[in-house]
Homo-oligomer: A and B are copies of this chain.
Amino acid sequence: MARISDVAKKAGVSVASVSRALSGLPGVSEATRIRVEAAVKALDYRPDLAARRLRSRRTNKLGLIVSDICNPFFTEIGRAVEDVAYQHRMRVMLCNSDEDPEKEAFYLEMMRDENVSGVILSPTLPLLSGLKTSDHPFPLVLVDRCERDSEVDAVVLDNFDAGFRLTEHLIAQGMRRIVFLYGSAGSTGAQRHQGYLAAMAAAGLAPDAEPIAPRAERAREVVEVLLSRKPLPDALLASNGLILQGVVEAARALGVSFPGEIALAGFDDMPWTRLIEPGITVIAQPTYEIGRAAIELLLARIASPEQAVRRLVMRGELKIRGSSRKTSA
C-alpha cells in the first residue's frame, strides 16, 4: 500500500501539501493540487483511516441503532439515512439492538469506541426514561420513540393524534366495543393508547386495552383467548405492525372473519396489509421522510452543537381498507 510520503515524493511536494490537498484545505496552489491528484491516481493511494483518525480525533462515521432490523419501518429509515449520509460523504454503521437494552448498551459503547460523529437511535424503553445527551460523547437524535420531556433531538410520529384518528374512524363506522392492543416495549404504544383513550372518552365509550410484549407470537396468544370468548368485541386495534400480524394470525387460526365478525385496524402500512383480503385499515407512517429528517437533524446538530433541542412531529396517514368496513348488524 502506498503511503502519503510516496505520494509526496511522486508529486515532488511535501507530505503536508499532500495532506492539505486531499483534505480540500486552503493554502494549496492549483498546480500543486493537480500534481497531487495525478500522483494519487498513479499510485492508487488510499489514506489510512486509522492514522487519520488517530491524528485528527475525528471520523466521518454515523451510527444508526434500530430496535428491530426486521421491521420494514426501520429498514426504510435505514435506507433514507444511508442515502443522505452518502451525499455528505458520511458513512453509516447500522446496528440492531433487537429491543434488548443490553445489546443497545453494547452498541452505544461501540459507537463511543469508534468515535462516531453522531448517532440516530430508536431507544428501548428503559434507556428512554432518563436519557440525557450529556451521557453520551456524541450528538444523538431519536427516531420513532421519545417522551414528552426528553431533552434530545427527535423525529417521531404524532402518536396521540394517530391513535385518536384511527379510533375515531372505527367509532364512525358504528363500532362500540373496541379493544386496543398496544406494545409494551416502546413509548409509541403508550402514546397511541392515550389517543385511543381520548377518542373513546369523547364518544362516551368504555375503553378496553391490553399491553403486549413485542412479539407477533405473543399477540397471537392474547388474541386467540380474546376471540374465543363470546360475544366478540366490535373491533380490534393493534398499535404496531407486529401485533397486527399476530391479530391476523389468530383470526385466521380461529376462523373469525373480518370485517364480518369483527373489524380490524392497526399501525404501519406493511406490504401484506394490502394483500390480505379485504385489506387492513392502517395508519401509514412517512417512513422515508422520518429517516431523512433524522439525519438532517443530526448533521445540523453536529455542525452547531449548541443549538436548541428540536423535535419534529409527523402526521400519519389513515388508509381506510376493507377490514374496518361497517357491516349490517
Find chain B residues with CB under 8 A from A95 CB.
94
Contact with B along A266-279 (1 / 0, CB 8 A): 00001110111100
**A96 near B112 (CB under 8 angstroms)?**
no
Q: How far is the CA of A277 from the CA of B112 in the complex (A)?
A: 48
Q: How far is the CA of A86 from the CA of B100 in the complex (A)?
A: 14
Smallest beta-carbon distance A274→chain B, Å: 7
Find chain B residues with CB under 8 A from A208 CB.
none
Find chain B residues with CB under 8 A from A75 CB.
69-70, 75
Instruction: Decide if A99 is an interface residue (CB 8 Å cutoff).
Output: no
Find chain B residues with CB under 8 A from A216 CB.
271
Instruction: Decide if A37 is an interface residue (CB 8 Å cutoff).
Output: no
**B46 near A112 (CB under 8 angstroms)?**
yes
Find chain B residues with CB under 8 A from A270 CB.
272
Q: Is the interface of A mostly helix, strand, loop or mixed?
A: helix
Find chain B residues with CB under 8 A from A110 CB.
91
Contact with B along A150-194 (1 / 0, CB 8 A): 000000000000000000000000000000000000000000000
Find chain B residues with CB under 8 A from A106 CB.
86
**B272 near A276 (CB under 8 angstroms)?**
yes
Find chain B residues with CB under 8 A from A275 CB.
245, 248-249, 252, 272, 276
Within residues 26 to 82 of chain A, which ones have a CB less than 8 A from any CB in chain B?
Answer: 46-51, 53-54, 69-70, 72, 75-76, 78-79, 82
**B82 near A78 (CB under 8 angstroms)?**
no
Kindly report how many copies of this chain are found in the complex they form together. Answer: 2
Smallest beta-carbon distance A266→chain B, Å: 13
Instruction: Decide if A98 is an interface residue (CB 8 Å cutoff).
Output: yes
Q: How far is the CA of A272 from the CA of B98 in the complex (A)?
A: 21
Smallest beta-carbon distance A53→chain B, Å: 4
Smallest beta-carbon distance A139→chain B, Å: 17
Q: How far is the CA of A94 from the CA of B47 in the complex (A)?
A: 22
Find chain B residues with CB under 8 A from A115 CB.
49-50
Find chain B residues with CB under 8 A from A276 CB.
272, 275-277
User: What are 24 residue pairs bridging A and B, where the CB atoms are less than 8 Å apart in the complex?
Assistant: A46-B112, A48-B54, A49-B113, A49-B114, A50-B54, A50-B115, A69-B69, A69-B75, A69-B78, A70-B75, A70-B76, A75-B75, A91-B110, A93-B94, A94-B94, A94-B96, A245-B275, A248-B275, A249-B274, A249-B275, A252-B274, A252-B275, A272-B272, A272-B276
Binding site for B on A (CB under 8 A): 46-51, 53-54, 69-70, 72, 75-76, 78-79, 82, 86, 91, 93-96, 98, 106, 110, 112-115, 216, 245, 248-249, 252, 270-272, 274-277
Q: A78-B96, A94-B96 are in contact. List 18 more A-B contacts (CB 8 A).
A: A46-B112, A46-B113, A47-B113, A49-B114, A50-B50, A50-B115, A54-B54, A69-B78, A70-B76, A82-B96, A93-B93, A94-B94, A248-B275, A249-B274, A252-B274, A252-B275, A271-B272, A272-B272
